[in-house]
Structure 1
Amino acid sequence: MGRLISYALAGALVGSIGILVKDSTLAIVLRTLAGLLLITMGLYVAQWWKGLVHVEKLGSKLWSVIRPATSKLLPVKNVKQALLLGFFWGWLPCGLVYSTLIWAATAQDALQSSSLMFAFGIGTLPAMLTTGLLAKQVKTLLANRNVQHLAGLLIILFGFYTIPFQAIISL
């Protein structure tokens, strides 16, 4: 729940910034950027191109500021610690979160952007819970090249779906 709250807060922040720039051209640019970031994420997941490592390194600077607070919460002994650790965990560098944040900014509304990021977080719950419960099996599955290629291809397709039709026409 803490991670979902941090995603929603990040969504509200980018949505608030989007309010300041109520321009449909900017929305198209941001959504195109989000789609391109998803495509690069798919290439990374499929291990066809590792360029996304550089984007995640930018986020690691933020994480280096947050990391000391998280180490004080381990091991988790109560619900409050778990919520707080989850909240901090939501700020971990992640290309998929970054692309979704860019997409959320296109809503140009804090509440809509926050809701989109919260929904994104809910959508990641099955994978996160499964990974936690079946870590060894998931690790083996994710090491399979065919699974990597399929997952990467699905993310790439979603990236193309995210790019607005107007951006494709203007090319």
Structure 2
Amino acid sequence: MDGLNLLPVFAVGLAGSVHCVGMCGGIAGALSGVPAAAAPRRTIPIAQATPTPAAGTASGGAMRAWTAMLPRQLPHLAIHNAGRIGSYMLAGALAGGLADGAGTLALASHWQGVAYLLANTMLVALGLYLMDAWHGLARVEAAGNLLWRRLLPAMRYLLPADSPAKSFALGALWGWVPCGMVYSVLLAALLSGSAAGGAATMLAFGAGTLPMLLALGVAGARLRQAMQRPAVRAGCGVLVLCFGVLGLVRHASGLSHGWLDALCLAVPP
């Protein structure tokens, strides 16, 4: 897998990150604070009921306090997200390594074709999910709860996240939250055919989700409300849907290589 094939993976992560708003927005907000030992009593001062300041003054004060918090918030958010993306890369390496081992089997081309169809079908399902047109992908996410329930108790040993090691470990656990979008891209990582290719695929995907999740950690509820607007979700859903449909059309028509490589999540077998 080369850099050209990673561009659509990054784009899916970027567009699909509106799903992260509902799925992980609360987690990003909860992890955005500085460690308990260093945290102030209030992250952003709340204006007192009396005397009532002018609206502009109150807004300006909140904005100054929020800006002052950024240098302390961003390092912790970066560490949490590094752990999250590290988990994605580990999962991708496992998926790609599995495919590499299976590549020696006589039926390798058959299962690769099935995996390619499934990967693009999952993208279509993700696009419809983002558009609120079909919610079948939620059932796939529910299946991941079996693993998540086993990992969840470990979080109590990592709170408060008062060290970089704890922050990274907490982020690494976050990376295993059941998510249909992650599962969709993991199928593309499987098709990369190697552990390195699978890890690179998931790194590109994680990088695509990073801007939204960093912004969610900083801006919180206000950004969540904006990103949950139907028009925003529909636009992002259409983009992801197009990637999936293009991959399916390419496979059905037998088209190969050329400029379509830059628009397909995985190269068909």
User: TM exceeds 0.5?
Assistant: yes
Question: Which residue does 2:253 correspond to in 1?
Answer: 169
Question: Which residue does 2:92 correspond to in 1?
Answer: 11
Q: Which has the larger radius of gyration?
A: 2
Alignment of 1:91-130 (within 5 A): 91-130=176-215
Question: Which residue does 1:149 correspond to in 2?
Answer: 234
Alignment of 1:1-171 (within 5 A): 1-22=82-103, 23-163=108-248, 165-166=250-251, 168-169=252-253
Contact 1:40 1:51 survives alignment (8 Å): yes
Note closer, same or farther for the CA distance 1:88–1:162 as it changes in structure 2 (3 Å cut): farther
- CA deviation map 1:62-110 (0-9, x unaligned): 1000011123212311111110011111111011110110111001111
Whole-angstrom distance in 1 between the partners of 2:194 and 2:232: 36
Q: Please report how far the alpha carbon of residue 161 of structure 1 lies from its aligned counterpart in structure 2 after TM superposition.
A: 3.3
Higher RCO structure, 1 or 2 (CA under 8 Å, sep 6+): 1
Whole-angstrom distance in 2 between the partners of 1:108 and 1:163: 20
Structure 2 counterpart of 1:169, one-letter code: S
Structure 2 counterpart of 1:127, one-letter code: M
Whole-angstrom distance in 1 between the partners of 2:149 and 2:209: 24
Unmatched runs of 5 consecutive residues or more in structure 1: none
Q: Please report how far the alpha carbon of residue 160 of structure 1 lies from its aligned counterpart in structure 2 after TM superposition.
A: 2.1
Whole-angstrom distance in 1 between the partners of 2:88 and 2:175: 6
Question: SS state of the match for residue 144, structure 2?
Answer: helix
Whole-angstrom distance in 2 between the partners of 1:91 and 1:164: 32
Whole-angstrom distance in 1 between the partners of 2:221 and 2:154: 28
Deviates more, 1:118-127 or 1:48-57: 118-127
Structure 1 counterpart of 2:143, one-letter code: L
Question: SS state of the match for residue 108, structure 1?
Answer: coil
Note closer, same or farther for the CA distance 1:41–1:71 as it changes in structure 2 (3 Å cut): farther
Note closer, same or farther for the CA distance 1:48–1:107 as it changes in structure 2 (3 Å cut): same
Question: SS state of the match for residue 91, structure 1?
Answer: coil
Question: SS state of the match for residue 198, structure 2?
Answer: helix
Whole-angstrom distance in 2 between the partners of 1:116 and 1:4: 11
Question: SS state of the match for residue 162, structure 2?
Answer: coil
Q: TM-score, normalised by structure 1?
A: 0.91
Q: TM-score, normalised by structure 2?
A: 0.60
Contact 1:31 1:164 survives alignment (8 Å): no
Whole-angstrom distance in 1 between the partners of 2:165 and 2:253: 50
Q: Please report how far the alpha carbon of residue 164 of structure 1 lies from its aligned counterpart in structure 2 after TM superposition.
A: 6.8
Identical-pair percentage: 36
